[in-house]
């Protein structure tokens, strides 16, 4: 039931990590704040928790992006939730992160949500499935094609987990753990008994395995809709596609009379599509952004705030914001960081591309 | 592994012992909070346990 309130269910939202696979985008901020369809990934998680009736949320902070995350989420009141910040510091593993939330959680159950994950169907079903019986934990699973590369769960006919296996050579199922969990407070006792793994981390799968060995029933819930871990640039683009495909988009901005706009478009009330521009949805265009004459914005593109697109052909791309893009070429499958500008080299001699590119940037020319 | 934390008395932000120990004395990481939090704010037992097992809290 949507909006049902769980008197004894809290949320723990993980927002640490280095974001190394998203450099250079993450040189200036945490990966959880990269926008998908013009909204930071972390906000989707907050909304999902709220939809499941969870309004007391502990946000776990690592070393990176502490201030930016607090700046965005504040005390949670703008989202109708109450946020407590929990500084984990060293990335000692998911079970360590959960353990840092012990005093916040108290005697309640809690959903643990990885803040860089985004999933179509939210966590309502996961929570209901967990609450339907006396479970020590509940895990979200999704069918994958390459189970050898995931943490895999074996489940019995009632959906109870019988075994967890990390990257098995001979997987008993193709059901992978996707980083959404519900825990009873019994997990804290299990975490206290854990030792760091070979990589020096307290592993959440070891905590669940300990609960199993202690005789707790572990519920499983197979997530049917799409799910994305947005750790890499291509994942951001794919998540952007999936969200734009599903989201209801509102056209509130200015579309001049000789502009061509079709498909579903989200256009902020302060954004403008000028005469001679072509926009084909699904597309999201954020505040104060201008699409000028001769520009083509194609499907699955999100353009962030305060940007100007002039003469470019862009599709299946995410422009985070504060950009001026004036080149006449085609930009496809691209992720442009905040304040990144793309100009034209057409009138310069000698002919050639002129780049001022930050550390860890990736270009295909 | 025992996980030790301390809650800021002003804003409620929770800080792990490894974070407190690496700074010893720090401004509370809660945004806008001016409180100072110290490793020494932890109970003596917790501090002792942490220092005896310090290498496990490093990475
Ligand atoms: Zn404080």
pLDDT tens profile A337-347:
999 999 999 88
Polymer length in residues for chain A? 365
pLDDT at A8: 82
H runs (alpha helix) in chain A? 41-51, 66-73, 94-100, 102-105, 124-131, 186-192, 204-213, 233-246
Listed as ranges, residues in chain A with pLDDT below 50 are 1-5
Find the B38 Cα to ligand 1 centroid distance in Å. 12
Q: In whole angstroms, how far apart are CA A354 and each of A9, A41, A348, A361, B20? A: 54, 32, 9, 14, 47
CB-based contacts of A78: which residues, under 8 Å, 6+ apart? none
Using DSSP bridges, classify how beta strands A330-332 and A35-36 pair: parallel, antiparallel or unpaired.
unpaired
The tokens of A223 are what? Answer: 């997530």
pLDDT at A2: 47
pLDDT at A328: 87
Residue boundaries of the structural domains of chain B: 5-57
pLDDT at A4: 46
Contact B1 A87 (CB under 8 A): no
CB-based contacts of A21: which residues, under 8 Å, 6+ apart? A231, A232
Polymer length in residues for chain B? 59
Residue with tokens 């989201």: A247
Find the B16 Cα to ligand 1 centroid distance in Å. 13
Residue with tokens 């999100």: A302
**What is the sign of the dihedral through the CA atoms of A364, A267, A24 and A351?**
positive
For residue A358, the tally of other CB atoms under 10 A from its CB is 12
Using DSSP bridges, classify how beta strands A135-143 and A175-183 pair: parallel, antiparallel or unpaired.
antiparallel
Which residues of chain B are within 8 Å of residue A84 when distances are taken between CB atoms?
Answer: 12-14
Rounded-to-integer distance, Cα A249 and Cα A337, Å: 23
Beta carbon pairs, A and B, within 8 Å = 69
Does this complex have an ipTM over 0.90?
yes
Ordered structural domains, chain A, with CATH: 9-244 (3.90.550.10), 249-336 (2.160.10.10)
For residue A360, the tally of other CB atoms under 10 A from its CB is 13
Rounded-to-integer distance, Cα A6 and Cα A30, Å: 30
Three-state SS for A355?
coil
pLDDT at B59: 62
Q: Please compute, for residue A86, the number of CA atoms within 13 A of its CA located in the half-sphere on the CB side.
A: 27
- Assess contact for A100 and A60: CB atoms under 8 A: yes
For chain B, state the CA radius of gyration: 11
Which residues of chain A are within 8 Å of residue B12 when distances are taken between CB atoms?
Answer: 84
Rounded-to-integer distance, Cα A340 and Cα B31, Å: 28
Q: Quick one: pLDDT band at residue B1, thresholds 50, 70, 90?
A: confident
For chain A, state the CA radius of gyration: 22
pLDDT at B55 over 90: no
- Which of A62, A83, A84, A89 to substitute to test the interface with B, most B CBs within 10 Å? A89
Contact A103 B59 (CB under 8 A): no
Which residues of chain A are within 8 Å of residue B59 when distances are taken between CB atoms?
Answer: 90-92, 200-201
Residue A210, burial from CB neighbour count under 10 angstroms (0-12, 13-18, 19+): buried
Between A356 and B58, where is the model more confident?
A356
pLDDT at A313: 98
The tokens of A137 are what? Answer: 């934990």
pLDDT at A20: 86
DSSP, residue by residue, A67-115:
HHHHHHHTTSGGGT-EEEEEE--S---HHHHHHHTHHHHTTSEEEEEET
Contact B19 A202 (CB under 8 A): no
Is B50 in CB contact (< 8 Å) with chain A?
no
The tokens of A343 are what? Answer: 């100009």
Please give the angle made by the CA atoms of A341, A346 and A352, to the nearest 5 degrees. 85
For residue B15, the tally of other CB atoms under 10 A from its CB is 28
Each residue's pLDDT tens digit, B32-54: 999 999 999 999 999 999 988 88
pLDDT at A5: 47
Rounded-to-integer distance, Cα B5 and Cα A266, Å: 44
Between A28 and B13, where is the model more confident?
B13
């Amino acid at each position: 039931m949507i909006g049902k309130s769980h008197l004894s269910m809290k949320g723990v939202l993980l927002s640490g990590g280095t974001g190394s696979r998203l450099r250079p985008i993450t040189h200036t901020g945490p990966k959880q704040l990269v926008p998908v369809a013009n909204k930071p990934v972390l906000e989707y998680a907050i909304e999902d928790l709220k939809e499941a009736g969870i309004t007391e949320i502990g946000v776990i902070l690592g070393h990176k992006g502490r201030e930016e995350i607090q700046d965005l989420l504040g005390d949670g009141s703008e989202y109708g939730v109450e946020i407590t910040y929990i500084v984990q510091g060293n990335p000692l593993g998911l079970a360590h992160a959960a353990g840092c939330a012990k005093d916040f959680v108290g005697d309640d159950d809690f959903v643990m949500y990885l803040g860089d994950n985004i999933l179509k169907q939210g966590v309502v079903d996961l929570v209901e499935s967990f609450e339907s019986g006396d479970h020590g934990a509940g895990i979200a699973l999704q069918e994958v094609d390459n189970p050898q590369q995931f943490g895999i769960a074996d489940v019995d006919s009632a959906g109870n987990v019988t075994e967890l296996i990390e990257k098995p050579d001979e997987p008993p199922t193709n059901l992978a753990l996707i980083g959404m969990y519900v825990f009873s407070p019994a997990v804290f006792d299990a975490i206290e008994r854990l030792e760091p793994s070979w990589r020096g981390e307290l592993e959440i799968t070891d905590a669940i395995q300990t609960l199993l060995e202690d005789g707790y029933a572990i519920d499983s819930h197979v997530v049917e809709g799409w799910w994305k871990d947005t750790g890499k640039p291509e994942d951001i683009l794919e998540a952007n596609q999936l969200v734009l495909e599903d989201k209801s988009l509102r056209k509130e901005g200015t579309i001049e009379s000789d502009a061509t706009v079709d498909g579903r478009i989200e256009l902020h009330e302060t954004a403008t599509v000028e005469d001679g521009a072509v926009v084909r949805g699904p597309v999201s265009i954020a505040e104060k952004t201008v699409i000028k004459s001769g520009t083509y914005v194609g499907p699955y593109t999100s353009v962030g705030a305060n940007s100007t697109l002039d003469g470019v052909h862009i599709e299946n791309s995410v422009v985070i914001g504060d950009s001026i893009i004036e080149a006449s070429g085609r930009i496809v499958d691209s992720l442009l960081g905040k304040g990144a500008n793309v100009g034209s080299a057409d009138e310069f001699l000698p002919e050639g591309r002129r780049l001022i590119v930050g550390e860890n940037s990736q270009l295909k020319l | 592994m025992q996980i030790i934390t301390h809650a800021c008395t002003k804003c409620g932000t929770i800080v792990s012992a490894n974070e407190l120990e690496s700074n010893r004395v720090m401004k509370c990481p809660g945004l806008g909070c001016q409180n100072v939090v110290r490793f020494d704010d932890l109970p003596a037992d917790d501090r002792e346990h942490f220092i005896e097992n310090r290498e496990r809290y490093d990475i």
